[in-house]
Amino acid sequence: MKIKYIIKGIAVLSLAIAVSGCEKNFLEINDNPNTPTTTTPELVLPAALAATGGVVNNSFNILGNLLAGNWAQSPDFAFYQPQETYAFTSGTYNTVWTNIYADALNDFRYVETQSAASGKVNAQAIARIMQAYNFQILVDTWGDVPYTEALKGTDLLTAKYDKAEDIYDGILSTIDASIAIINTTATGDNPSTTSDIVFGNGTVTTAPAVAMNKWIRFANTLKLRVLLRQSLIPSRAAKVTAGFATLAGKTFLAAGENVGVNPGYLNQAGKYSPLYGAIGFQVNGSETSNYQATRGNKYAVDFLLANADPRVELLYRPAVSPVVAGTTYVGVYPGTTATTTARKDNFSPVGPGVLPASTNNGFAKPAYLMTAAEGFFLQAEAILKGYLPGGAAAAQTAYQTGIQESFKLLGSTAAAATTYYTTSTQPLVSWAAATAAGRQFEAIIVQKWVSNNGFNGLEAWTEYRRTGFPANLPIGINNASGGKLPLRIPYPQNELANNGANVPVIDIFTNKIFWEK
C-alpha cells in the first residue's frame, strides 16, 4: 500500500472535486510523522481529528445522503453524476482513501506511539479510539482493507488485505484496550484544550474527567455500533453476544453529547466547516453553485410530509418556484434531467438545521462524527433485541430520546419532538402504533435515518445496506447498474496501481460486505 507521509488539516472541497477529494488547508502542519522532528503529539492530534471530520462531514456525508434518499442533484447541474448514476470508478474516491489512510490513520498512529513513549495515556487512548473509528469507516465503505500490515510506512508498501470481519474483531479489541488505559484524574496527562478539538471545550487541562469520561462514553457507543452492525449475521452471533456482555453496566453518549470536530471554524475561505465549505454559502452569504446543485430527494421530503414531521422545514428549505402551486417543500427524483419546468428553483435546498446561513454562523457548525441521537437509537435497538437490559419500556424511552436529540440538533426542542411522536398514529413514528412484527425495529432504523439526514449520510446509507430500511429507496434515473443500488464503492486507483496484487477483485453491485443484508 502506497502511503504518503504528510499531516493534513481540514479538507475543503473545491468545485472540481466536490465529492471525491480534499485539499490541504486548515490546521496544516508540514512535518513528516515518520521521521524524527520536533512535532509533538499535541500538535498532530487536532490535525488528525480534523482530517477525519473532513471526510465524514463532507465527502462521505454527501455520498451517503445521495444514496440513502435524502439528497439529489438539481436537474440543471451535473456535480453528482457518479453518485446518481452509480458509475463509480477507481478514481472517484481515490483522494478520500488517501485522506483516511495517509493522513488521519498515520497521524493517529504517530500520536499513539509518541504518547505511549512519553506516558501520556489519554492522548494514546484518543488516538486508538479514532483508529477504531476510521477503520470501521473503511470496512463499511470498501470491505476488506489493509489492517494488520497497515500504517508501517516505508517498511511495507504492499500491505495485505485483511478480511472485514477480522478487522471488526480488531476494532473491538482496540476500543476495549483504549478504555482500559484512560486516566480521568491525571491532569498533566491529558491533551490540551487546543489538542482535543472534540471534547476539549476549555475544560481538558483542569478537569480531565469531564473530557475523558466523554471519550469513554463515545468509545462504548462506537462499540455498540460495531456490534449491532454485524448482529444480523448468524455466523457472528457468538461474537456479538460476547461483545455485549462486556458492555453490561457501561454508559453511552448522554443527551446533548454530540461528537463533533471543531478546531474553530471561521467565515473565511478555506476555514469553513467541511460540509459548509463543500455545499454552503460564500463569505458574503450568497449561494454557491454547490449549494444550488444540492436538493432534497423526493423520497425523504415526501416521507417527512406524509408523517407530518416538523423537521421537514429544518432539513430542507422551501422551493422558490415549486412546480405545483401551493406546495412548499418539494424533492427531486434522483437522476431527473433539466427541462423548461425542472430547474433548481423548483426544488427544496438543504435546510437551515443542517446548513445555516453564514449570518447564523453556519460555517462554524461542527463536523459530527456521531450524534447523541444515533447513540440512543443504537441503545433502543440493543435493548429491543435483548442485548442490553431494560425491556420494552427502556427501548421505547431510548427511541423517543433519540427523536428528541434529533430535533434538538436541528435547532428545535425536545418538547416539539414529544408532541410529534405522542400525537402521531404512524407506525414509523409512534412506538405504540408499531405493533406489527418487526415494526419497532423498522421504526428505530427509519428514525435513525431521519436523524442522520445531512449530518452523517454514510451512516444512513450503511444502515440501509444492513437492514433494508427505509424500504423502497429510489433508484436513480439513467443508472449504470441495471437498477441496483451499490453495495460498496470501488477500490481506489492508488491501491490498484501500487498494491494491485493484494487488492480484492469485486463487483460493487453484487459482492456484499460481510454484514450486509
Query: Quick one: what percent of the chain has pLDDT higher than 90?
Result: 83
Q: Tens digits of per-residue pLDDT, 497-516?
A: 999 999 999 999 999 999 99
- Cβ atoms within 10 Å of 36's Cβ, excluding its own: 6
pLDDT at 18 over 50: no
Mean pLDDT computed over 363-382: 98
Q: Tens digits of per-residue pLDDT, 276-298?
A: 999 999 999 999 999 999 999 99
Mean pLDDT computed over 239-251: 97
pLDDT at 205 over 90: no
**Residues linked to residue 29 through DSSP beta bridges, in sequence order:** 7
Name the nearest CA neighbour of 126 among 231, 60, 46: 46
pLDDT at 37 over 80: no
**More confident call, 468 vs 358:** 468
Res 517: pLDDT? 85
* Summary mean pLDDT of the chain: 91
User: How many angstroms separate the CA atoms of 165 and 238, rounded?
Assistant: 13
Q: Which residue is listed with cell 457518479?
A: 82
Q: Which of 39-43, 464-468, 511-515 has the lowest mean pLDDT?
A: 39-43
What is the pTM for the complete model shown? Answer: 0.93
User: What's the CA dihedral at 387, 439, 374, 107 to 10 degrees?
Assistant: 70
pLDDT at 8 over 90: no
Angle of helix 208-229 versus helix 372-384 axis, rounded to 10:
50
Res 210: pLDDT? 86
User: How many angstroms separate the CA atoms of 220 and 235, rounded?
Assistant: 23
Run of H or E including 380: helix 372-384
Q: Tens digits of per-residue pLDDT, 321-343?
A: 998 888 999 999 999 999 888 89
What structural domains does the chain harbor? 15-267+365-498 (1.25.40.390)
pLDDT at 388 over 70: yes
User: How many angstroms separate the CA atoms of 173 and 38, rounded?
Assistant: 31
Q: Which of 6-15, 313-322, 455-464 has the lowest mean pLDDT?
A: 6-15
Res 155: pLDDT? 62
